Structure 1
Amino acid sequence: MLLADDGPLLGASPQDPISLSYPWVVSTRDGFIIWYGSTVAWDAGNGEMLHVFNRATSSDGMVWAREGQAVTHSLGDAQAFSRPTVLRRDSGEWDMWFSYRAAPGRSYRIGHAASRDGCDWTLDLVGAVIDVFETGWDSQMTCYPFVFDHDGKRYMLYNGNGYGRTGFGLAVLDG
């Protein structure tokens, strides 16, 4: 494998002070967009970490311009984001699915955000997601979505209870 140099592609910075994770890269006609997780604080004042999604762009895939937080978090509602999947609609609008936690003691859920331009995102925690079920392997937690299109349909692979302790499932998304 060929590496560009000995350092990370995106490393710690004042904007990304603790850790970076979960990169999702999309190729555009102007280059690349990356959305990635950034741990801002281990405790946001309510006992839960603040882990957000940031956005950066690059014309060549090697030099990246950090653009800041992509999806606005909501303390106590959605503040520990992880594992984004970003897809562009035929209309040019964007969808993002991800895991989030709200507060200590609450397990991961799958959230959604939509954007007209891939920059400004509107958080939607109920509209385009899978919630926990009353019983079964995903009755306590849904997390780590991976969304893809195949044969004219949109699918989501996701983990259930215990971060996928018993495996992962497949859902067909409506719409």
Structure 2
Amino acid sequence: MTPLPALPPGRLLLRPLPGCWWMAGGLGAFCPLLGPDGALRLYVGGRDAGGRTHIGRLDFDGPPEPGRAPALRGLLGPLLSLGAPGCFDADGTGYPWLVEAGGEMRMYYVGWQRLAGAVPFRNQIGLAVSRDGGDSFFRFSRAPLLAASDAEPIGHGSCAVQRQPAGGWRMLYTSFLEWAEAPEGGLRHRYQLHTAWSPDGLDWQRGGEVAVPLADDSEYALGAPAPWGGGDAPERLFFTARGDRYRLFLGTAETPGRFRRHPGPVEIPAGDWDDAMQCYPRILRAGGEDFLFYAGNGYGRTGIGFLPLPRGWGA
């Protein structure tokens, strides 16, 4: 595995906007895209004052550049808010992943419910669709996209969905393994990254394929998969792992559905907004450059930043 070259510090792109009710409590996971005009669009989960989450869109005045963070010029949303009472996304929507498909834009997302008792919440994956270029979305179904099974009975989280060059679709997703006793008391979730396959991106087959396993007993959470590349070079995967704190890691594909992680975390010189947490990676190509976006402290409550990846990083 070729090691990742030294990276520059992340440049802060955006802090939460206290005057916007659906992100007054902070930002969360997001998905960057380039709009029809080539400018950056950020589909992002925001937290309201009650801790519920909603997905909206932030529009910037241009693409990211190695020496410049584009300025925010407008916001739209929320585009996907709370589901109906009792539904899987009744208390929030977040972790958007967007894919164009047949003239539509699909938004795969995570819905969650608050639970009473020792287990505080349940996450499941849903799908919303846009037919106007991503300006508005409707739910594909009020039910989650991945049904519970005996092998995966607890829930599913952040995902990355892609069409495959040879046909069909692949999903890399967070699969909850259990709620286990935590060292400090109470229950703590354990989850890792799994792989699912589909002919159409709607009906998914899950055979228990593990994309990235937990490293050891000190690690208990893997999420936010961000695949990139392939073709002549091996596919790479950024993801978030949590032991003592959330950090970014990189893996290289061994097969189309399984990745081997590189030793140690991705080293990004930290600032005052990302010194305690670097999480939720996403990759965007703009102007011939690859950019790594990620969220900072408090799962993004302090903001979202980006940095240019060195040329040839994925070779």
Smaller-chain TM-score range? Answer: 0.7 to 0.9
Aligned pairs for 1:85-164 (under 5 A) are 85-102=226-243, 106-126=244-264, 129-131=266-268, 133=270, 135-164=271-300
User: Match of 1:163, SS?
Assistant: helix
**2:299 aligned counterpart, secondary structure:** helix
Aligned counterparts of 1:13 and 1:19: Cα–Cα separation in 2: 9
Match of 1:14 in 2: 150
Q: Secondary structure at the match of 2:196?
A: strand
Report if the CA contact (8 A) 1:44-1:50 is conserved. no
| CA separation of 1:38 and 1:14: change in aligned 2, threshold 3 A | same
Letter of the 1:60 counterpart: D
- AA matched with 1:66: R
Instruction: Supply the AA of the counterpart residue of 2:286.
Output: H
1:71 to 1:130, Cα distance in 2 relative to 1, 3 A:
same
Tell me the residue number matched to 1:169: 305
SS in 2 for 1:42: strand
TM-score normalized with structure 1 length: 0.84
Where relative contact order (Cα < 8 A, 6+ residues apart) is larger, the structure is: 2
- Confirm or deny: 8 A CA contact 1:40 1:51 kept in the other structure: yes
Quick one: which amino acid aligns to residue 124 of structure 1? H
How far the C-alpha of 1:151 sits from its partner, in A, is 1.9
How far did 1:93 drift? 2.1
Identify the residue that residue 196 of structure 2 maps to in structure 1: 56
**Does the Cα contact within 8 Å between 1:88 and 1:94 map onto a contact in 2?**
yes
For the residues of structure 1 that align with 2:211 and 2:278, how far apart are their CA atoms? 22
> Looking at CA atoms only, which structure, 1 or 2, has the larger radius of gyration?
2
Between the aligned partners of 2:230 and 2:238, the Cα distance in structure 1 is 13
In the alignment, structure 2 segments of 5+ residues that lack a partner are 1-137
> Partners of 1:38 and 1:132 in 2: how far apart?
30
The percent identity for this pair of structures is 27
Residues of 2 paired with 1:118 and 1:144: CA distance? 22
Q: 1:49 Cα shift?
A: 3.0
TM-score w.r.t. the length of structure 2 is 0.49
The code of the aligned residue for 1:65 comes to Q
> Which 10-residue stretch deviates more, 64-73 or 6-15?
6-15
Distance 1:82 1:60, change over 3 A: same
Structure with greater proportional strand content = 2
| 2:225–2:238 contact (8 Å) kept in structure 1 | yes
Partner amino acid for 2:168? G
CA drift at 1:77 = 4.8
CA contact (8 A) 2:227 2:236 kept: yes
Aligned length: 169
**In structure 2, how many angstroms separate the alpha carbons of the residues matched to 1:158 and 1:11?**
29
Displacement after TM superposition at 1:113 (Å)? 1.2
